[in-house]
Structure 1
Amino acid sequence: MLNAFATSFRLKNTYKTNSILYSLKSLPLVKRLLPDALYASAGLKAFANIVSILIEVGSVFVGKLLYVSLMVFTAAQLLKGPAADSFVHIFFFLTIIGGLLNTQIFNPTKDKYYAIFLMRMDARQYTLSNYLYFLLKMAVGLLPFTLLFGVLAGVSPGLCLLMPFFVCAFKLVVTAISLWGCRDGKKARNENLPAPVIWAGVLAALVLAYALPALGLAMSPPLFLALAVLTVIGGGLSLAYVLRFGEFRAIYRTLLDPGSFVMNPADKNQAVLAAYRKKIDADMTQTSSKTGYQYLNELFMKRHSKLLTKSAKKITLVLLAILIMLIIACLSIPEAKTTVNELMLAFLPYFLFVMYLVNRGRVITQAMFTNCDHSMLTYRFYRQPKAILTLFAARLKYIIAINLMPASVIALGLPLLLFLSGGTSEPLNYVLLFVSIIAMSVFFSVHTLVLYYLLQPYNIQMETKNAAYGILNGLTYFVCYFAMGKELPTLAFGLGVSAFCIVYVAAALLLVYRFAPKTFRLRP
């Protein structure tokens, strides 16, 4: 088993190393400094190897640090009731979510395909060695942070030491149940495509994780201890079953089937196009009174209306339901009024991350490329400055309008909740809650489309070929994520974020005007 793990680790490290080299070559300024024979350079390969190992080590700790510090510890400090109770309560239900969504074994990845089917490695040894390594990383990465932040929250050190093993045990229980359900190899579940019942469980666990402590109904540490011990015992029994399981090759034959797991970019291209065509309105009577590129854009938006607005409408309905529940809570539960009022006056930075999540810009730009730009960019007239800028302006209006659907619920709901929960002595807060949410929505709409036009990342096979595009999107995510940990007065943050959004939008539009005619093209 150790030999199987060593071989698979070298395989994954080689794959990561080549990906790092490719990413370096695609960076605008760096690629000119690198040699053409990039993959034959021993020095660059050694550098990429070191970066790959550092990323692997960082993956053990960095994600766990953010997870425990922000999603568990910070939330426990903000919610009502003893911090220790809230800490173990949130950790318990988030562990359930992690167990349902991340089993490792049922994640169809290229390295599994390469190792099991191309290199013909023993499926059982490969799977078990990598799964045990996954659990070891999970325990080692969580242990220092559950101990540090748990003790700071008032949880006993012994219980903090048990938490990582509780996480691994719960994952083992879920894995064993999933393996038993597909022991014939024909019903392997793809964890990247969770069933509706899994999503229902995730949503229920998420609500229970944060809603109950907000109402002062958190799980006590003794109850958590009892449940954790039972789970660890169940995890031990599950581990024995997983180690004896022998049908991993049959499972991966189903999970990595070309119909559900596409290795060929051309096949993937066709699969994506076929999926999009099913969502397009084929009503040929739809037309437009506009002319030129405005006509092309409006017709595209009309025929793709269901595809472009479906997720935004669903998010809007969910937000509306949450708003109604909060209004009812403010009107009927006195304790809830105080909590909601505090949230409205001090936690506006959290909504920066919320607005990032509800932004549909990336989905829309991907649809634009898949159904229009990947073909039209092959024609020179479509890449003329006038055509690019005309379409950019028209598309920006539609993206802003689509994003304003969920944003309007939040923008109107926050001042209403502030008023119903007790109000404020500073009337300007009502205005800033509304304006700042609208400004954030416009900001993310512009930001997404500007990145698409300045760093157009796709090639004709619809593969992402621009590392800078991924880096900037990742940076945007982390900035919004870290903003959740900040507690700032609504007046100060609202003024600051609104001013920033205005300046950024003006600068971004100027950059598009200057550079998009040169950068908006197909990637090789």
Structure 2
Amino acid sequence: MNEMKQLFFLDWKYRNFKASSFANGLFYFLGRIPLLGKIVPTTMLYREYGLKKGIAALKLIGSILFSFFWYGLPFVISLFISKGLSHVTSSKVSILFVWLMLFNVIGICLLELFPNLERQEIQFITNFRVSKEDYIKKSSLLKIIKTIIFSLPGLIIVGIIEKQVVLSLLIGTFSLLSFSLIWSVINLHLTLFNKRLLIKILTVIVIISIDLTLGYFLIKNDLLMSFQKLTVSWLGAFVCLMLWLPFLYLYVHFKRFSEYTRQMFISSEVLINYSESNKKDQQYYLGEGKKMKLEKVADDEKVSSLTGSKYLNALLFNRFRTSLRKQLMYRVVGISLVMLAIVVFSLLAPIKIEPIKVEKLMYNFMPIMFFVLYILSFGKSVVQTLFVNCDSSMLAYPFYRESKAIVQGFFYRFLKTFYYNGVIGTTIYLWFLIFNGVNNQLLSLEFSIIFFFVILSLTILFSFHELFIYYILQPFTSDFQVKNPVYKLVDGIFYFIAYISLQIKTAEFSYAAIVSGISILYFVIGLIVIVKVAPKTFKLKN
């Protein structure tokens, strides 16, 4: 009884630790949001204990309620599968039987063979000086108990539906206990093997193959109902009741638990470190900057007459010129090949549609053009390159953070980005003129002018946007992390707008006018904001 108290006390302590970490993290991120940060100052991190405890308590209650929901999902899935199988076999397939065969046999196998510690668990063990071996042993048993507790509502509901509540509870409880302990004991031994990962994967494949093959065989030979009656019965409940006892003994008396614990921590720390250093968002937000190659070029002396931040920016773009031009070449060649194919096809199969209808089709192409130019833009690549190879180091120096230097640097970078994006836009527009020329000026002069302004405004937008949010939010830290939630939100919204543009099936002159107008307005307002705000916000974050 004392052991059980310790188990639940340890779990309660860990849940409180997670909830408190969540409350602190919430205050920290709210404090970094512009405007809102003034209402929620970072001093709340160490002052508002009552409020933090309230938020932590709500988080704790929410996590417990979510656990009941999460463990109830397998029963919902089993319900739908049982209905499908009942239709195929023309007999009533038990929900409990489906749950046993899928989520107990296969699901528990996967969970128990591949356990790992969360980053917060390792922090909890370290901060509270909990015995590693003791924690692993107890938390593994506690996980089994929690699985049973959180599954009880689902088992009761299934029992009510199938009118056998007691049998459902007995089979469900003892089958969870038995399968969890069986696979836990197997995992203890497999984890100490040299080729542990390969053996575990092969074991899972074998179990899944056997389970699915058995199911297919039973359905094919009309034996499913007989096997179900044997499994979902008092005999099945008795077998599950007796099965867990020897495996509990084997688990508790496992002699190499210290070796297992050490291997568990090594594997978990490697996994955490790997995921931390290879986060998708870090790769997405800074991956391009790390790939760019800095090359010393012969004409560096051309920029030697410049001084301060002007010299650094000019030198940086000069030394990245080869990499940028290579990327530009790939984009231009790709666009040219696609457009050449369209032009050749239009010559081989002349367009016989009326010019008005062709023009209408071309208007419908403009939303696609928004997404294409967004994908091909150099904005994100330039920003990442600037931070990784220049700003992450130079923002530590006062001269680099002067208002004049920041604003001048922004305009220089914008013009360079606009140059590369402008080549892409110009290539598209030239091929449009070639297409129109070989098809006997199929499209009117008015449309050609409108199309030109759309490409120009979008080129300005995509050259400006990434630099704008970079200077206003400066989301990157000195150790190349991205911890600004607003930056991620803005980036996600902008991508969503680009994606939504693909879903627009019909567009007219009004679309071109709105897109061009908003782009130019955003650019003009943004320039004013940059001049006024960027010198205050463009700083190195720790």
TM tier relative to shorter chain: 0.5 to 0.7
Q: How does 1:324-339 map to 2 (within 5 A)?
A: 324-333=340-349
Whether 1:437 aligns to 2:455 is yes
Which residue of 492, 512, 516 corresponds with 2:530?
512
Q: Which amino acid aligns with 1:354?
A: V
| Cα pair distance change 1:302/1:488, threshold 3 Å | same
Deviation at 1:281, TM superposition (A): 0.4
Deviation at 1:20, TM superposition (A): 4.5
Distance across 2 between alignment mates of 1:354 and 1:397: 21
Distance across 1 between alignment mates of 2:20 and 2:430: 51
Q: Does the 8 Å contact 1:378/1:522 carry over to 2?
A: yes
Q: Paired residue for 2:471?
A: 453
Q: CA RMSD in A?
A: 5.5
Which residue of 329, 334, 339 corresponds with 1:323?
339
Which residue of 306, 313, 332 corresponds with 1:291?
306
Q: Does the 8 Å contact 2:295/2:319 carry over to 1?
A: yes
Distance across 1 between alignment mates of 2:321 and 2:528: 29
Which residue of 25, 29, 35 corresponds with 2:31?
25
Whether 1:38 aligns to 2:52 is no
Distance across 2 between alignment mates of 1:256 and 1:512: 41
User: What residue ranges of structure 2 are gaps of 5+ in the alignment?
Assistant: 1-7, 67-110, 126-131, 145-194, 201-207, 216-262
Q: Which amino acid aligns with 2:366?
A: L
Q: How does 1:95-134 map to 2 (within 5 A)?
A: none
Q: Paired residue for 2:271?
A: 256
- Structure in which a larger fraction of residues adopt helix: 2
Q: How does 1:380-395 map to 2 (within 5 A)?
A: 380-395=398-413
Q: Does the 8 Å contact 2:477/2:483 carry over to 1?
A: yes
Greater CA drift, 299-308 or 479-488 = 479-488
Q: Paired residue for 1:282?
A: 296
| Cα pair distance change 1:257/1:50, threshold 3 Å | closer
Q: Percent identity?
A: 25
Deviation at 1:345, TM superposition (A): 2.6
- Residues 372-420 of structure 1: CA deviation (Å, up to 9, x unaligned): 1111111111111111111111111111112223332333334554666
Q: TM-score of the superposition, structure 2-length normalised?
A: 0.53
Greater C-alpha radius of gyration? 2
Secondary structure at the aligned position of 1:431 is classed as helix
Distance across 2 between alignment mates of 1:411 and 1:49: 59
| Cα pair distance change 1:274/1:335, threshold 3 Å | closer
Which residue of 368, 389, 408 corresponds with 1:371?
389
Distance across 1 between alignment mates of 2:375 and 2:288: 27
User: What residue ranges of structure 1 are gaps of 5+ in the alignment?
Assistant: 58-104, 130-182, 189-232, 241-247
Q: Which amino acid aligns with 1:494?
A: A
Distance across 2 between alignment mates of 1:380 and 1:489: 50
| Cα pair distance change 1:8/1:38, threshold 3 Å | closer
| Cα pair distance change 1:13/1:44, threshold 3 Å | closer
Distance across 1 between alignment mates of 2:346 and 2:37: 57
Distance across 2 between alignment mates of 1:332 and 1:16: 64
Q: Does the 8 Å contact 2:33/2:486 carry over to 1?
A: yes
Q: Does the 8 Å contact 2:418/2:460 carry over to 1?
A: yes
| Cα pair distance change 1:421/1:360, threshold 3 Å | same
Q: Which amino acid aligns with 2:306?
A: T
Distance across 2 between alignment mates of 1:238 and 1:263: 41
Q: Does the 8 Å contact 1:344/1:418 carry over to 2?
A: no
Q: Paired residue for 1:244?
A: none
Deviation at 1:449, TM superposition (A): 0.9
- Residues 15-71 of structure 1: CA deviation (Å, up to 9, x unaligned): 8776554322210211222252438756467669989989xx9xxxxxxxxxxxxxx
| Cα pair distance change 1:496/1:421, threshold 3 Å | farther
Q: Paired residue for 2:420?
A: 402
Whether 1:478 aligns to 2:496 is yes
Which residue of 355, 369, 377 corresponds with 1:351?
369
Q: Does the 8 Å contact 1:457/1:465 carry over to 2?
A: yes
Q: Paired residue for 1:300?
A: 316
Distance across 2 between alignment mates of 1:341 and 1:466: 44
| Cα pair distance change 1:340/1:28, threshold 3 Å | same
Distance across 2 between alignment mates of 1:399 and 1:463: 24
Q: Does the 8 Å contact 1:294/1:390 carry over to 2?
A: yes
Q: Which has the higher contact order (CA 8 A, sep 6+)?
A: 1
| Cα pair distance change 1:453/1:335, threshold 3 Å | same
Q: Does the 8 Å contact 2:18/2:120 carry over to 1?
A: no
